[in-house]
Structure 1
Amino acid sequence: MTTSTAAISGPTSVNARLAAELAVGEGQVAAAVRLLDEGATVPFIARYRKEATGSLDDGQLRLLAERLAYLRELDERRNAVLASIAEQGALTDELKAALMAADTKARVEDIYLPYKPKRRTKAQIAREAGLEPLTDRLLTDPGVAPEQAAAAFVSDEVADVAAALDGARHILVERAAEDAELVGAVRERFWQNGSARTKPASDAVGTSAAAQKYRDYFDYTEPLDTMPSHRVLAVLRGEKEQVLALSLDGGDDVVYQAMIAEALGIDLTAGAAATPWLAGAVGFAWRTRLSVSASVDARVRLRLRAEQDAVSVFARNLKDLLLAAPAGNRTTLGLDPGFRTGVKVAVVDGTGKVLDTCAVFPHQPQKQWDAAKVALAALIARHGIELIAIGNGTASRETDALATELIADIRATGAGAPTKAMVSEAGASVYSASAYAAHELPDLDVTLRGAVSIARRLQDPLAELVKIEPKSIGVGQYQHDVTPGILARSLGAVVEDAVNAVGVDLNTASVPLLSRVSGITETLAESIVAHRDRTGPFRSRRSLLDVPRLGPKAFEQCAGFLRIRDGDDPLDSSGVHPESYPVVRRILDRAGLSLTEIIGNERALRGVRPAEIADDRFGVPTVTDILAELEKPGRDPRPAFTTASFAAGVEKVSDLKVGMILEGVVTNVAAFGAFVDVGVHQDGLVHVSAMADRYVSDPHDVVRSGQVVRVKVVDVDVDRQRIGLSLRLTEQTRPARPAAGAKRRPDKTPRSSGSPRRGKESPRAGGSMAQALRDAGFGR
């Protein structure tokens, strides 16, 4: 019986499924879906539509939006399959019911496989030759001898008995390969019981120096369903580089062949005349079709899961980095370290405007140590510099030592000295060479732009990092091995959420920063900046409506996330949305105070009951948020600014000693632990097992990127440049492993060949550093 192809699942069933997956009410989901379909952004819905969604947070909304897109694609594909099968006159109630119950795209494709238009197969050719009855007879009457049964099918199109049986086997194999229930069961068993096996791609490759980074995988096996994402991506990269050979093994072949036989109605233990032939056909079906498809599916599933995990880790690290503590609007000296090309220097004021630039050459080969200090001291005195930002790349420790010595010299004069901090250079070179950097800093050389970016990163990491493509900010593992589209969507969402959580100063924000605000596209951001440059600073949020192409919908989405300092209305500097200003007026009437009197007045605000202010449009959640904003208007969710102090004399891996307790900065958090920069040009690893005196399932529960931590050195492998660290400062340690051929010096600290040395030149003939500092303006 055939049936029509009505749409199977509409909005109601999708909403119900989303509600079940998120463990929330269907009404909450329906409201969120409606808002998303109307063009509202996740940050806007999470912040300003809590009444509608029952206070779904941005994480829930992101997941909802992602799953909504998948389920709609599933419905679209399902209906296309229904139409295709109906056109063939093969759609039955049973088949339609199976498609209705399919909850994944893979399941829909399994069901569709027998009806899917395909090229002419060997099984199809066999059917055209009239061999399907032979297949049916061998299945229904296994007592008949295969050769005897096949003899009746020899014809002009079938050359002999062997050709007839070969055709029958192809028909049998195709039946098994297109059995949706069988294919699904085999796929799941392969995944649950299978394993990944790796070995060197060849004997020659296995002994090469370039392949040694993969030596842990030269004889390696791990179950598919528990293999961690970082190992999956490492193995896949090794395979891509033709260093490793990867194979997937589903387990005992006999079990799978029994599954195929059962699906085809074959008794492999019957001992009938046709049983050997049938068993051979079953084995052939497993080897040539089902094992291949199950292996391919497992590989895709393995990679997809690994990518999802890797993207999740990258996203969490990126969020931590974007929301790192800002040093604030203080004049900053940015140092982009280098040896041969020198240290590039830039001075920026509190707003990030470039005041001065130069280059100094304190390190080898020039070794103009004192001259570099004199030049930097002059800049510090001239511009009243409060902060020194040092890039953490090549020559960073040597430059840090230069800054440390300079600060000590300045303090010795009795003057106040700047605070120094190490800053991640990740993505700085990408920014320096970008079209935006050329537009923003057209008169600066590419190398000096990097120093400017480093200084600005210390002042406000979020405002500077949004200028760089998220994937170029290296805080992920194997990000270059992840499908670009998946990575871009996830990281873009992280940046959007971070920017809107902090809020943006409308009168100072750059185009890249504005374009991450809810409802503002890059074109609209450019239009806002052009309007600002032409007419001067915005005095109110409402004046945004004067910007060309910024209509009521965009204003609704963006206004609450934009801040105007010292504008016409104090509320414009808060997170209160303009649509909610009437609520503030009701609060003022209830409290009997003016706006300036109530802002920051904790006692008065806490005396207001949200339920007494709420109405049909603005409920208790919104009123509660407004009261919190009035208590601390424009509050920044980011932590307070702190800096790490690297240990003096510890500049490379060989300087490390087991048992040392050092201060460092978390640079990256992975599923297996966290990487910490302790100032030796090579991050150390705190394994998840060494993060606390309790079981830790997720390293993000203990540390975050950018956090300053104290760690203990528990292992040093100089040859492999690997450092083992522990957050447990009472951790038992083992002796360090020196570099091959190196002599042990148990009682002496090895001298760093790369440590900064003062050059022989003097800052001036017959002068001294103290005099040079006095000349610069210190100690007067």
Structure 2
Amino acid sequence: MTDLVQQLAKELAVRPNQVEAAIKLIDEGASVPFIARYRKEVTQGLDDSQLRQLDTRLSYLRDLFERREKVIESLKEQNKLSDDLLARVNAAETKNALEEIYAPYRPKRTSKSFKAKEAGLGPIAEKIFNEAIDPTEALAGFSHEDYPDAESQLDAVQHILIDEWAQNIPLTTELKTMFAKTAVLKSLVASDEKKEVGKKFRDYFDFSENLNKVASHRLLAMLRGRQENVLGLKVDGEDDAPLARIDTEYNLETVAPQSRQDFLKQTAKLFWLGKVRPTIEHSLLTEKRLNAEAEAMQVFAENLRHLLLSAPAGSRCTLGVDPGIRTGVKLAVVNQSGDVVAHSTIYPFAPKEDKEGSIAELARLCREFNVDLIAIGNGTASRETEAVVAEMMAANADLSLTRVSVSEAGASVYSASELASNELPDLDVSIRGAVSIARRLQDPLAELVKIDPKSIGVGQYQHDVNQANLAKTLDAVVEDCVNSVGVDVNTASAAILGYIAGLNKAIAQQIVDYRKENGRFDSRQSLKKVPRLGDRTFEQAAGFLRIQDGSEPLDASAVHPESYPLVAKIVEAKATTVKDIIGNTEIIRQVNAEEFADEKFGLPTIKDVLAELEKPGRDPRPEFRTAKFREDITEVAQLTEGMQLEGVITNVTNFGAFVDVGVHQDGLVHISELANEFVSDPHKVAKPGQIVQVRVMNVDVERNRVNLSMRPEGSVAPVKAQRPPRREQNGEQRKPHAKRPQHARPQGDRPQGKKPQSAKPQENKIGGLGALLLQAGIKGSK
């Protein structure tokens, strides 16, 4: 059993043989959705989240192990690989930790130390360090054109010693631990001129906090400020203890003569201040940043998952409305099948201000095409447009219409894409946006997969995190969501088919092209006629592809074709037919799964098949509901403290949730205001797309901030059980290393309303990155 398997088993808290089985399937080309759904016996029940984590970590650890072997080989070639160093290399859990250990040993032919050794100063440096001799006397007889005098020669000797000491990994590791305990992150405005242009960062113009306690969203906000040249960041800490530790390590207090002691102490100071401390500062900040990015991407992924799996309105005729002012409001009617049957443009606002004509056109389209839903994009002029639509609905009360505010994030990206040009070649780019808005109400998943996940809007400022990791994370979420729902192969676009297990963009397009040329697929087996769709691909994809009203009833379910013989045995045993058993709870619950278990079909598969037969093709998404915004509240300035509103959750972070109440600015429900009971994780009580009742707690019109509560008015704030204060050995209460100025507290820490300090829950993770930065006092530049 390999170290890789053991480590993965430990991380996932599963047995090594489960990990080995999953790795074997992954290496054979099986996708995570396929393994999770149809290979439960092989992995002994690993679920999709465990498999996704395993897949991600497997790739990372293989890279780490490969790099580790190269590092060990390099250290062997340099004859530097001691038992202690080998143990530290093998114990490195991250790529950064491994590179940190290897850095002092990495060959550098341009370093000052290397050049000094090439000039012949190596033996002299060793002599000064080991023998009681005056440093200047040790240079007697040395001559080199690059080092013409004693000063330059002693400077070169110091570089040699500093590089040698840097290879004392136990010492540098201890120094890092020592410095980290007192490390403080300080942020200062770069200059007075930056105060005005960078006022969105004003909470951080003079800010300091213990680095270990800096919340991830505050760190990311400060890093963005540094990137925009508004803030200067510095990791500060104590120097005396590390310097004393270096003196102790090399017994510098006992060194003689005095000139040698002074020289070596000066070298130790240069070693710490010029070599080790800058490296440690960078390392600590990098570790903190990477953790913040990882947590941010996890939250992005979770929010994307809930958005993709939000309730579909279904096959209902929908009018898509893309609001605009000067260029007009674009309209598109999409029928029950998602086809565009009409489109138009109205101009209810300046400069034309044709409100009467706009209302008439809206009414005509709704009446002529029996429109059921009106999807209004939530961008610029959305509330003004919604008011026009409401007026039309009031004037045409006989029409059964429901208007819904829909996120238009990414609609413009889709409109200008090659995919949109192929799908809607006869429509102007501006009209395509309205079509996308209508379709994403009918089926959010089918429409949103056409857009780069990073453009959908579940986390702004994505460019601040590692782009490759972000893309991989979000693509995995889309793949999981698409396969959990399944797709109708006779209506699905190439965009959504490309996310089906086993398929790629090329094969997905082949399926669509074959369908256009030969008509609808009558069975799953007929998919094998598609070019390049072989047996292996069919095995991976078939269970997630649905065929409605085909020749084989099971093709409309999630039962995999390889399990059809199992269904046949069950049907025969119950003296019924496949059509009659599907959806027949009475018969299915009489089936004893254990009676049908054999070498080919285990209990997990049999139970899954029975569950699918009971509710075939069930959609895991919730029932469609809509939030009703107050028509008289359209701007932040109109909000007042205590106002009760209905809204929809747009983003969930680890310090709270953001709610759209129809004022063009999402309000924050802090974690302490989500429920009457203590909430440790907002994701457990709040989901994007969830409709909630909120109360306005505080409004800051100048900074465009709104604090909301989901707790009833007058209720007592939840309190987490308090731990007794930590005490040092002498009995005195421990003091914090650094205190953050009160005026620098960002909104994300807690709501502005006054409340007991004990009501503030522990804040330990990052939330959606864009939302975090907004709440930290920062609006993104686009």
TM-score after normalising by structure 2:
0.88
Deviation at 1:107, TM superposition (A): 4.4
Q: Deviations over 1:516-535 (max 9, x none)?
A: 11111100011000000011
Task: Report the equivalent of 2:573.
Answer: 590
Instruction: Give the Cα separation in 1 of the matches to 2:476 and 2:568.
Output: 34
CA change 1:100–1:398 in 2 (3 A) is: closer
After superposition, where does 1:7-406 map in structure 2 within 5 Å? 12-88=2-78, 96=86, 99-113=89-103, 115-141=105-131, 144-147=133-136, 149-150=137-138, 152=140, 154-155=142-143, 159-206=148-195, 208=196, 210-249=197-236, 251-263=237-249, 265-268=250-253, 273=258, 274-406=260-392
CA change 1:361–1:23 in 2 (3 A) is: same
Amino acid at match of 1:162: E
Instruction: Give the Cα separation in 1 of the matches to 2:347 and 2:143.
Output: 90
Does 2:439 correspond to 1:452?
no
Q: Deviations over 1:54-79 (max 9, x none)?
A: 21112111111121112211221222
Deviation at 1:692, TM superposition (A): 1.6
CA change 1:519–1:226 in 2 (3 A) is: farther
Instruction: Give the Cα separation in 2 of the matches to 1:676 and 1:471.
Output: 20
Instruction: Give the Cα separation in 1 of the matches to 2:248 and 2:54.
Output: 40
After superposition, where does 1:416-427 map in structure 2 within 5 Å? 416-427=399-410
Task: Report the equivalent of 2:741.
Answer: none
Task: Report the equivalent of 1:4.
Answer: none
Amino acid at match of 1:707: Q
Deviates more, 1:520-529 or 1:714-723: 714-723
Contact persistence 1:230–1:477 (CA under 8 A)? no
Instruction: Give the Cα separation in 1 of the matches to 2:523 and 2:370.
Output: 33
Task: Report the equivalent of 1:514.
Answer: 497
Amino acid at match of 2:126: D
Instruction: Give the one of 651, 664, 675 matched to 1:692.
Output: 675
SS in 2 for 1:730: coil
Q: Deviations over 1:132-175 (max 9, x none)?
A: 4443344445x65444x435464456645434432332221111
Query: How many aligned positions are there?
Result: 714
Q: Deviations over 1:417-459 (max 9, x none)?
A: 1111110001000001111101100111111111111100110
After superposition, where does 1:456-475 map in structure 2 within 5 Å? 456-475=439-458
Deviation at 1:341, TM superposition (A): 1.7
Contact persistence 1:377–1:406 (CA under 8 A)? yes
Instruction: Give the Cα separation in 1 of the matches to 2:79 and 2:209.
Output: 47
Contact persistence 1:314–1:477 (CA under 8 A)? no
CA change 1:369–1:194 in 2 (3 A) is: same
CA change 1:468–1:84 in 2 (3 A) is: same
Residue segments in structure 1 that go unaligned for 5+ positions in a row = 1-10, 734-780
CA change 1:269–1:374 in 2 (3 A) is: farther
Contact persistence 1:661–1:729 (CA under 8 A)? no
Deviation at 1:283, TM superposition (A): 0.8
Deviates more, 1:543-552 or 1:59-68: 59-68
Does 2:629 correspond to 1:646?
yes
Deviation at 1:44, TM superposition (A): 0.6
Task: Report the equivalent of 1:757.
Answer: none
After superposition, where does 1:597-616 map in structure 2 within 5 Å? 597-616=580-599
Identity across the alignment (%):
51
After superposition, where does 1:473-488 map in structure 2 within 5 Å? 473-488=456-471
Instruction: Give the Cα separation in 2 of the matches to 1:246 and 1:559.
Output: 54
Deviation at 1:626, TM superposition (A): 0.8
Instruction: Give the Cα separation in 2 of the matches to 1:268 and 1:605.
Output: 84
Q: Deviations over 1:278-310 (max 9, x none)?
A: 221111001111111112222322221121111
Contact persistence 1:652–1:681 (CA under 8 A)? yes
Amino acid at match of 1:606: R
Instruction: Give the Cα separation in 2 of the matches to 1:359 and 1:162.
Output: 80
Instruction: Give the Cα separation in 1 of the matches to 2:248 and 2:516.
Output: 76
SS in 2 for 1:220: strand
Q: Deviations over 1:320-364 (max 9, x none)?
A: 100000000011111111122221111011111001000112223
Deviation at 1:90, TM superposition (A): 5.6
Deviation at 1:262, TM superposition (A): 4.3
CA change 1:67–1:712 in 2 (3 A) is: same
Amino acid at match of 1:386: D
Deviation at 1:477, TM superposition (A): 4.1
Amino acid at match of 1:455: A
SS in 1 for 2:341: strand
Instruction: Give the one of 633, 641, 653 matched to 1:670.
Output: 653
Task: Report the equivalent of 1:773.
Answer: none
Task: Report the equivalent of 2:531.
Answer: 548
Contact persistence 2:490–2:520 (CA under 8 A)? yes
Task: Report the equivalent of 1:683.
Answer: 666
Instruction: Give the Cα separation in 2 of the matches to 1:91 and 1:267.
Output: 27
Deviation at 1:185, TM superposition (A): 3.3
Instruction: Give the Cα separation in 2 of the matches to 1:124 and 1:706.
Output: 61
Instruction: Give the Cα separation in 1 of the matches to 2:498 and 2:287.
Output: 35
Deviates more, 1:149-158 or 1:178-187: 149-158
Amino acid at match of 2:16: E
Contact persistence 1:110–1:179 (CA under 8 A)? no
RMSD (Å), alpha carbons: 2.2
Instruction: Give the Cα separation in 1 of the matches to 2:188 and 2:698.
Output: 28
Rg bigger for which structure? 1
Instruction: Give the Cα separation in 1 of the matches to 2:462 and 2:102.
Output: 35
Contact persistence 2:124–2:139 (CA under 8 A)? no
Instruction: Give the Cα separation in 1 of the matches to 2:708 and 2:660.
Output: 11
